């Protein structure tokens, strides 16, 4: 049936549609980036940051014992990148190790910059690792074999750091020198990139670790549990253990007599027999400093032919501010 709508009928249709749109104002729009569905939560990034801070501390001890050299290891950043962006930030050539993540599928990467690899090789071969030339060449097969122990140390500490979250068996699969030749993931897939700076004397370089975000999402619940455990208050047993460790530590005590200021001219004019007036009454208490902080007041006395300090006044207890309900 062919029939033309009147203007009143057309207006009625538009009014009805407008009323439906206004009636649906209670609905909430949830933004979602369909281009990056594999991104992980910020809480998991914080847990990964804490995890690799422990990894950096352990690695500093392990490498110092292996290389017999003083070095520092610092965690620089933990961020989410696409795999293509991660590869673009790597130098070429470099030392890139592909790792398996058993029992999980997929691979991770470890990259050690050349500015760090060659000084380490020099130390392994008996040198001091102070070579200042910037070598831009690929490492040879012989040099790769010399770095086997270094790789085992790094993977062992990485495995121990991840043990608190999940048991992951990091194993070397391949060693490459060109970043663009290591295509273990699609360039658009997300990875968690961990950057660690290592300094050995005058030499400094970065250790970069890339773990696919999809693998971290597989163990996401364990990350949340680990993060919640870290935020809980310490138990009484933990407090007693920390106090036992603190009781064995040493502090520096100084009994200090605070006197007037003296100009350098007067100080240089002092001679044997001169008397300095401190304007400090004999009965006034002397300050006792603990590690440079004023804690006690008392007097300096003689005890068994040794200078001693008798505590006459303790520091006031800390003021507790009541919480507002």
Question: Does a structural domain hold residue 8?
Answer: no
Out of 201, 232, 263, a domain closes at 232
Is the model more confident about 239 or about 43?
239
Same domain, 285 and 191: no
Q: pLDDT digit string (tens) for 85-130? A: 898 888 888 889 999 888 888 889 999 988 888 889 888 888 877 6
Question: Does a structural domain hold residue 143?
Answer: yes
Question: Does a structural domain hold residue 239?
Answer: no
Same domain, 281 and 222: no
pLDDT at 46: 83
Average pLDDT over residues 236-252: 83
Out of 203, 232, 261, a domain closes at 232
Same domain, 169 and 74: yes
Q: How confident is the model at residue 29 (pLDDT cuts 50, 70, 90)?
A: very low
Same domain, 261 and 196: no
Average pLDDT over residues 56-79: 90
pLDDT at 75: 92
Instruction: Classify the C-alpha dihedral 172-79-74-94 as positive or negative.
Output: positive
Separation CA 149–CA 143 (nearest Å): 11
- The total domain count for the chain is 2
Which range among 16-30, 205-219, 261-275, 308-322 shows the weakest confidence by mean pLDDT? 16-30
Q: pLDDT digit string (tens) for 258-272? A: 777 888 888 888 888
Task: Sort strands 71-82 and 190-200 into parallel, antiparallel or unpaired.
Answer: antiparallel
pLDDT at 31: 45
Q: What is the pTM of this model?
A: 0.57
Q: pLDDT digit string (tens) for 118-171? A: 889 888 888 877 655 556 778 888 888 889 899 999 999 999 988 888 888 899
Surface-to-core class of residue 110, CB atoms within 10 Å of its CB (0-12 exposed, 13-18 middle, 19+ buried): buried
Question: Does a structural domain hold residue 244?
Answer: no
Question: Does a structural domain hold residue 321?
Answer: no
Out of 198, 232, 266, a domain closes at 232
Same domain, 159 and 117: yes
Same domain, 212 and 90: yes
Same domain, 219 and 276: no
Same domain, 78 and 181: yes
**Whether pLDDT at 207 is above 90:** yes
Same domain, 262 and 147: no
CA distances from 49 to 53, 79, 195, 248 (A): 6, 9, 10, 31
Same domain, 187 and 270: no
**Whether pLDDT at 23 is above 80:** no
Report the CATH number that the domain containing residue 271 is assigned in CATH.
Answer: 2.30.330.10
Question: Does a structural domain hold residue 323?
Answer: no
Mean pLDDT of the chain: 80
Same domain, 166 and 257: no
**Whether pLDDT at 196 is above 90:** yes
Report the CATH number that the domain containing residue 110 is assigned in CATH.
Answer: 3.40.1550.10
Q: How confident is the model at residue 308 (pLDDT cuts 50, 70, 90)?
A: confident
Structural domain including 101 reads 42-232
Question: Does a structural domain hold residue 20?
Answer: no
Same domain, 110 and 181: yes
pLDDT at 325: 45
**Whether pLDDT at 318 is above 80:** no
Question: Does a structural domain hold residue 268?
Answer: yes
Is the model more confident about 294 or about 223?
294
**Whether pLDDT at 2 is above 70:** no
């Amino acid at each position: 049936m062919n029939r033309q709508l009147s203007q009143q009928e057309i207006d009625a249709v538009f009014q009805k549609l407008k009323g439906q749109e206004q009636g649906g104002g209670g609905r909430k729009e949830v933004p979602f980036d369909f281009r990056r569905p594999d991104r992980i939560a910020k809480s998991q990034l914080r847990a990964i940051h804490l995890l690799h801070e422990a990894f950096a501390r352990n690695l500093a001890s392990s490498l110092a014992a292996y290389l017999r050299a003083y070095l520092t290891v610092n965690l620089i950043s933990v961020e989410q990148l696409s795999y293509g962006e991660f590869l673009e930030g790597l130098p070429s050539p470099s030392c890139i190790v592909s790792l398996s993540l058993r029992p999980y599928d997929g691979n991770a990467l470890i990259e050690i910059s050349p500015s760090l690899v060659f000084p380490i090789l020099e130390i392994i071969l008996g040198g001091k690792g102070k070579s200042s030339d910037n070598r831009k060449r690929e490492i040879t097969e012989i040099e790769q074999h010399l770095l086997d122990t270094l790789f085992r140390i790094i993977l062992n500490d990485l495995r121990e750091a991840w043990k608190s979250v999940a048991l992951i068996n990091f194993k070397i699969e391949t060693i490459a020198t060109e970043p663009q030749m290591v295509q273990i993931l699609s360039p658009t897939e997300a990875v968690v990139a961990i950057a660690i700076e290592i300094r050995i004397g005058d030499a400094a370089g970065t250790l970069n670790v890339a773990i696919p975000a999809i693998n971290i999402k597989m163990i996401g619940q364990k990350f949340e549990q680990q993060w919640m455990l870290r935020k809980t208050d310490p138990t009484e047993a933990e407090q007693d253990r920390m106090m036992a460790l603190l009781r064995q530590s040493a502090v520096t005590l100084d009994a200090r007599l605070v006197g007037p200021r003296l100009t350098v001219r007067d100080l240089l004019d002092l001679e044997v027999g001169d008397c300095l007036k401190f304007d400090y009454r004999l009965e006034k208490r002397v300050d006792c400093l603990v590690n440079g902080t004023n804690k006690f007041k008392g007097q300096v006395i003689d005890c068994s032919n040794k200078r001693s300090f008798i505590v006459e006044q303790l520091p006031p207890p800390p003021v507790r501010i009541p919480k507002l309900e």
